Chain A
Amino acid sequence: MHIQYIHWNAAHGWRGADALREPAQLVLYFGSREQLADGERYRDLRGLYPESHIIGCSTGGQIHGDDICDDEVIAVALRFAHTQVRLVQEVVEARDASRACGARLAHQAQAADLAGLFVLSDGLAVNGGELLAGITEVLGPDLPVTGGLAGDGTRFEQTIVGADAEPSPNRVAAIAFYGASFRFAHGCAGGWDVFGPRRKVTKSEGSVLVELDGEPPLDLYTRYLGAEEAEAMPGSGLAFPLRIHDEAEPDRQIVRSVFAVDRSARTLTFAADIPEGCTAQLMRANFDSLAAGAGEAGRQARSALAEVVAGDKLAILVSCTGRRRVMGQRTQDELDAVAAELGEDFVRIGFYSYGEIAPPAASGRCELHNQTMTVTVIAEAVA
């Protein structure tokens, strides 16, 4: 596998090095919604890579190597030696159609030699948990599925995804990798700690949390954030994700962060369902624990890719917008931590998302996460 990294900024346009000797099969790009919304960047890439599949999404910040940038669009063009690549996509008509959409998407990708699926989904219009349930329903729990939900900085207004087309909202797309040579490794970790009392989810409606210990959840967050910061909800709410503990599935560690607020009803909407009757506990983190968590994700991915591979190796880092918000200028610490674990021989790109997709180390079953760093490693085995 060969990788060409290119990037775009307003001052210089597209720039890159190490041109591929053969045409790329796949181009992956990330940028802010403002940079991508008009379709111009997609059209640029289509001009550059007329025969490639091109897929990308809006983010809460792009990752390239050790750097985070908001004012550049980043992309990688990939040339595989043996692996076949296909793009599949669907439109989500409504949030509660997420599961069916996931199933349709999976049906499109399904084939005997399907080796991995990397999903990029609208980050606001989709119930990520249901989407993944639909995918897993069709492909089974053993097929590795990773990816992320597109972001919109800390604005939470609109997210866009494009697959062989200009990016648009309500879209779910995935890269399907086929063939025995393809290697797909992943890691996923958070670095958050629970604090304070356990609270009971006394009322919820799907992913809308209505009452926590009989109290509107917005009141709790307002108390913890202070009135001033609470004004910046849902973005500021990312500082305090919730750890959900469901008695029905005691081993499942689920972390959910707020991504919408209803100030009149004083309810909060989360990225996936919060089942009524389960317990919820606030979580917090400091710069060091988050960086350590990211390092753990890198270590998992690295150790999952034990064998010697042929050519370049790509690491796609999907980290949560909430982490970036908490860490501020220290966000690079988590990228450093991933790099330290992976080693210098990986091309690292990625983005800050509204939700991460990866099987957690414990269960192995593909899940939607919040507030984690997930690392997906793509490579090809020695022929």
Chain B
Amino acid sequence: MHRLLARQIRQSTDESGQVDLIKLGELVSAAYEEGDRDRRRTDRAIKLMIEELELTHKRAEQDLRRAREFLDSIIENIPIAVFAKDAKDSRYVLLNRAGEEYYGMPREAMLGKTPQQIFPDHIARVVNEQDRRVVDSGTPMFLEGHLLEIGVKGHDRLVNSRKLLVRDGSGAPQYLVGVIEDVTERITNEARISHLAHHDALTDLPNRSAFNAALGERLERAQEAATSFAVLSLDLDRFKEVNDVFGHPVGDMLMRAAADRLAAEADGAFVARIGGDEFMILMPDGIRHEDVLALAERLVETIGNELKVDDYLPHVGLSVGVAFYPDDGVNAVTLLANADSALYRAKREGRGRVRVFESEMDQELRDRRLLQHDLRQALELNQFLVYFQPQARVDGEVIGFEALLRWNHPTRGFVPPDQFIPLAEENGLIVEIGEWVLREACREAASWPRPLQVAVNLSPVQFQAGDLERSIHQILLETGLTPTRLEVEITEGVLIGDFTRALNLLRRLKALGIRIAMDDFGTGYSSLSYLQSFPFDKIKIDRSFISNLEATPQSAEIVRAVLSLAHALNIPVIAEGVETEAQRAFLAREACEEMQGYLVGRPDLIERYLHLVGVTVERRLYA
């Protein structure tokens, strides 16, 4: 009997054991209803569940289709060839658009076919071998930057290709998926970028970083093999002038021509352009000193020969410094510094020559660098002074002063101008310093009660750089000095280089009322054409002639000649370095107009000459 029925009978039986059939009937009937209700509910739930699951399934299928379409469109449109093959027989089952381009055939010609049916035998064999290897090993294949063996894009294309195995649900090989990416442009670009990073754009010679790397490698090798080699530091002489005179296009052509010559002559050596007009050459191992020097001389000669550029014939030279490993240094820094020291010496000794490093050069260069370093701070630290040296008529009447720059270094003391002025000209500081001197001199002169002349030297560099005319004009306005009281002294260096420009500038200065004096006359070229081309207000005879007046008769003749030339041109002359009465008497006899020198007064602070400028000491002190 069913457990429930037994329970129902028990529930329908009263205490006397009588079964209440009506109650039993109700219980049984209710149980049927419960059973029916439960079955109906279950049936309903199952039916609904099936519907819902079908709907869910349909939605999932739609989602899957959409996802597939999405992925298909990506695969179809990426610019990388993608294919898939059956892992069993390498039959193609998928190929995208880039793949069609890569293979040079429509996908219809490939899908469903094996490599043998598509490609020539020798290619099909390679493809099949690769496929089998990937399928058998299960590890992906990745080939980088290899030449394309098939396709229509051309055989010079480089590709990255990879193939990987896709397994089915049970882990058996199902598909081979391949990706082929054309990396020709990328590799070419990389090579170009790498070349640019290591080569100078103008000459295509290796650049500084390439040279440093090569030197580093060479040092390493030389240390292991105990060999020796030479490093050459080269500098084109007067290249800057070529740029100034002929312009940069010509300068560039000249630079290329020079680089070509150097590279050709130093065939077998590592030639690098490391900046502006500087080159370095790393000579092969084990070359004898004599041969290195011989080559260096040949280089000087070959650059010294006229370089015809376009229709110009600019003339440049070459200075070379040589340092040997290991004698002149065992590391890159020392070796390069010493080659530079030698080069500096070569240039200082007149350019166009070869110098081999000697140990004292090292110290010299270091001193120079130190001085240059100090010089940069000197203006800021107020270490410069302006001294004034009186200029007088030969009868002794003071008519003006020359302002002279002095550098009072806190530890070195007074640094000779011929030491620091070339340095300042080299690094361009002279522009700033020169302006400062001019301003100081003008301010001082403007404060004098007597309207004496003040002469200020201008460096050729000041003519080339900046706006000299404007800054002089500005200073005159600022200080209130009458332009006619200012005299600028220039050397012929101002006129060498861009002659026309310098001449125009001098003319404009003269137009302001400023007087222009030709300094150091008699030394250098002292080209008379300069005197012809510009109406100088004064000529200054160099001190060397005056100090030799008594010793060498030639000096007296030169002074006489200059004076007569000047008088003929109606230009007054001032003699420099007059120290004795005899010299003064000679000059007076020869009708020289003015003089300057210890006889009149040494350069000193203006305080010493206050009486000459018309200031009483008391007034000066208590003003």
Contact = CB atoms under 8 A, between A and B. Distances in A.
- Do A and B share a complex? yes
Interface of A: 195-197, 223-226, 229, 239-240, 282, 284, 286-287, 326, 328-330, 332-333
A329 B27 contact: yes
Contacts of B8: 329
Contact of A195 (B7, B37, B38, B49): B49
A282 B45 CA distance: 10
Contacts of A330: 4, 34
29 contacts: A195-B45, A196-B48, A196-B53, A197-B52, A197-B53, A223-B48, A224-B41, A224-B44, A224-B45, A224-B48, A225-B41, A225-B44, A226-B41, A226-B44, A229-B37, A240-B45, A284-B42, A284-B45, A286-B38, A286-B42, A328-B30, A328-B38, A329-B4, A329-B7, A329-B8, A329-B27, A329-B30, A330-B34, A333-B3
A239 B34 CA distance: 12
B187 interface: no
Interface in B285-342: none
B99 to A, nearest CB: 40
Interface of B: 3-4, 7-8, 27, 30-31, 34, 37-38, 40-42, 44-45, 48-49, 52-53, 56
Contacts of B40: 226
B41 A329 contact: no
Contacts of B27: 329
A43 to B, nearest CB: 30
A180 to B, nearest CB: 42
Nearest to A198: B56
Top 8 closest pairs, chain A to chain B, by CB: A328-B34, A196-B49, A197-B56, A329-B31, A197-B52, A196-B52, A224-B45, A195-B49
Contact of A332 (B7, B37, B45): B7
Nearest to B8: A329
Contacts of B45: 195-196, 224, 240, 282, 284
A328 B31 contact: yes
User: Main SS of chain A's interface residues?
Assistant: helix
Contacts of B41: 224-226, 229, 239
A195 B3 CA distance: 29
A202 to B, nearest CB: 15
Contacts of B52: 196-197
Contacts of B3: 333
Given A196-B48, A224-B48, A329-B4, 11 more contacts: A196-B45, A197-B49, A197-B52, A224-B44, A226-B40, A226-B44, A240-B45, A282-B45, A328-B31, A328-B38, A329-B30
Nearest to A336: B3
A195 to B, nearest CB: 6
Contacts of B38: 286-287, 326, 328
A329 B40 CA distance: 17
Contacts of A284: 42, 45
B415 to A, nearest CB: 81
Nearest to B34: A328
A328 B36 CA distance: 12
A62 to B, nearest CB: 16
B28 to A, nearest CB: 9
A326 B42 CA distance: 11
Contacts of A329: 4, 7-8, 27, 30-31, 34
Contacts of A326: 38
A240 B53 CA distance: 17
A240 B44 CA distance: 12
A17 B53 CA distance: 57
A299 to B, nearest CB: 20
Most chain A CB atoms below 10 A, which of B31, B49, B53:
B49
Contacts of A332: 7
Contacts of B34: 328-330
Contacts of A225: 41, 44
Contacts of B31: 328-329
B7 to A, nearest CB: 6
A257 to B, nearest CB: 15
A214 to B, nearest CB: 13
A192 B445 CA distance: 113
A282 B30 CA distance: 27
A14 B8 CA distance: 26
A11 to B, nearest CB: 13
Contacts of B37: 229
Most chain A CB atoms below 10 A, which of B8, B27, B44:
B44
Contacts of A239: 41
Contacts of A328: 30-31, 34, 38
Contacts of A229: 37, 41
Contacts of A240: 45
Contacts of B4: 329-330
Nearest to A226: B44
Contacts of A287: 38
B14 to A, nearest CB: 14
B485 to A, nearest CB: 93
A196 B42 CA distance: 12
B60 to A, nearest CB: 10
Contacts of A224: 41, 44-45, 48
A34 to B, nearest CB: 22
A284 B43 CA distance: 12
A337 to B, nearest CB: 12
A333 B40 CA distance: 21
Contacts of A223: 48
Nearest to A284: B45
A294 to B, nearest CB: 15
A227 to B, nearest CB: 11
Nearest to B41: A239
A181 B608 CA distance: 118
